C-alpha cells in the first residue's frame, strides 16, 4: 500500500512532518509522499525520520495553477530537489500572494463583526507552516462565531461566502516549468474532484498540461467514483501518462474519514505497482540536473 499525496502541519495538515512516516509504517504502508502546499519546510524532518525507521519517504510538493480555460488545477511534484532555486523563487511569490489573500479574508471577516486576527490564526499552526483558510476557520470557531471549521467554510469563506477572496496562482506553464527544474515528476492531482469536470474537458486540460511537461494524472483518489477512476486510467493509457494516487490526507476535522493510505473505511487503496514507473521517471530527471 502506498500514498503519494499527503499533507503535514507545515501547510494545512494536522500531523507534524516527522510523525507521518511513523504513522504510515504503523498502518502498513510501503511508501508515503509528503506534498505540502507551496512549501518544502517539512521535507527535512520527514526524510530524516523516514531514514531512521527504514521507511520510504518521498519528498514532494503541491502547487496550484490555472490553465487557459480558467480552470484551477493542482499539481503534485514528486521526488523534488529541495535545493532548487527556480522552484524556491516561485514559492516565494506564491507565499506573498497567499499572505495578501489571508489579510484580505481577515479584513472581510472583521467587517462582518468577527474580530479574528492574523496572530490568532497563526496560533493554530505548529512550527513553520503556511497560513491558510483552515487556520483562519479554526480562529473563527475559537471566537465562538461557528460550531466547527466546516461551518466557517460553508457560510463565510467558500467561493459563495461573504468573506471569500480569490487566490492568485501561477499559470500552468510557470508551475510545471518550476517543478521540472526541481527534478519533479509532475502529476495532475484529483482531476475529477470538480463537479464541473467532464471527460472531454479533462482531456483538453491534459493535452494543454502535457505541452508544458505534465508527467501523469491521479486516477486513485478517495472521493472519485469508479467512473472517475476508469476515465482517468483510460486517459492516462491513451495519452501515455503515468498513473498516481493518494489520499490527500490532512487529518483533523477538515477531511473526516480520510486516513493515511485509506479513505472512507478500507475501500480505497493506491496500487503499489504505480510507484516504480514514477520513481524511474524521477531518477531520469534528477540525473539530468
Residue 208: CB atoms within 10 Å: 17
In the predicted model, what is the mean pLDDT of the chain? 93
28-37, 118-127, 143-152, 253-262: least confidently modelled range: 253-262
Domains of the chain: 2-91+173-287 (3.20.20.140), 95-157 (1.10.150)
Q: List the grid coordinates of 25.
A: 509504517
Q: Give percent of the chain with pLDDT exceeding 70.
A: 96
Q: In the structure grid, which three cell numbers stand for residue 288, read together?
A: 539530468
Q: Is the pLDDT of residue 11 over 90?
A: no
Distance in angstroms (rounded) separating the CA atoms of residues 178 and 180: 5
Question: What pLDDT score was predicted for residue 265?
Answer: 58
Region 135-147: mean pLDDT is: 95
Q: What is the pTM of this model?
A: 0.89
- How large is the angle between the packed helices 133-142 and 85-111, nearest 10 degrees? 30
| pLDDT tens digits, one per residue of 66-106 | 999 999 999 999 999 999 999 999 999 998 998 999 999 99
Q: What is the pLDDT of residues 172-186, one digit of tens each?
A: 999 999 999 999 999
Q: How far is CA 51 from CA 26, 47, 59, 136, 141, in A?
A: 15, 6, 12, 34, 38
User: 141: part of which helix (H) or strand (E)?
Assistant: helix 133-142
Average pLDDT over residues 259-285: 89
Amino acid at each position: 500500500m502506498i500514498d503519494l499525496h499527503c499533507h503535514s502541519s507545515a501547510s494545512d495538515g494536522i500531523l507534524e512532518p516527522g510523525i507521518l512516516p511513523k504513522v504510515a509504517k504503523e498502518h502498513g504502508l510501503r511508501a508515503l509522499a509528503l506534498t505540502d502546499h507551496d512549501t518544502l519546510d517539512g521535507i527535512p524532518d520527514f526524510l530524516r525520520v523516514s531514514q531512521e525507521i527504514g521507511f520510504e519517504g518521498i519528498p514532494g510538493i503541491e502547487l496550484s495553477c490555472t490553465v487557459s480555460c480558467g480552470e484551477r488545477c493542482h499539481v503534485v511534484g514528486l521526488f523534488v530537489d529541495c535545493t532548487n532555486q527556480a522552484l524556491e523563487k516561485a514559492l516565494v511569490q506564491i507565499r506573498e500572494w497567499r499572505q495578501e489573500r489571508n489579510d484580505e479574508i481577515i479584513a472581510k471577516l472583521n467587517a462582518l463583526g468577527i474580530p479574528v486576527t492574523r496572530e490568532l490564526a497563526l496560533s493554530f499552526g505548529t512550527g513553520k507552516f503556511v497560513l491558510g483558510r483552515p487556520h483562519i476557520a479554526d480562529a473563527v470557531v475559537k471566537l465562538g462565531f461557528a460550531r466547527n471549521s466546516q461551518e466557517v467554510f460553508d457560510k463565510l469563506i467558500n467561493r459563495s461566502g461573504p468573506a471569500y477572496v480569490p487566490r492568485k496562482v501561477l499559470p500552468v506553464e510557470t508551475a510545471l516549468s518550476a517543478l521540472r527544474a526541481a527534478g519533479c515528476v509532475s502529476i495532475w492531482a484529483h482531476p475529477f474532484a470538480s463537479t464541473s469536470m467532464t471527460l472531454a474537458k479533462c482531456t483538453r486540460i491534459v493535452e494543454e498540461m502535457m505541452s508544458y511537461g505534465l508527467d501523469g494524472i491521479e486516477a486513485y483518489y478517495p472521493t472519485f467514483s469508479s467512473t472517475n477512476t476508469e476515465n482517468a486510467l483510460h486517459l492516462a493509457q491513451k495519452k501515455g501518462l503515468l498513473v498516481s494516487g493518494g489520499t490527500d490526507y490532512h487529518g483533523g476535522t477538515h477531511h473526516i474519514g480520510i486516513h493515511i493510505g485509506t479513505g472512507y473505511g478500507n475501500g480505497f487503496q493506491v496500487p503499489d505497482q504505480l510507484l516504480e514507473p514514477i520513481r524511474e521517471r524521477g531518477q531520469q530527471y534528477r540525473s539530468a540536473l
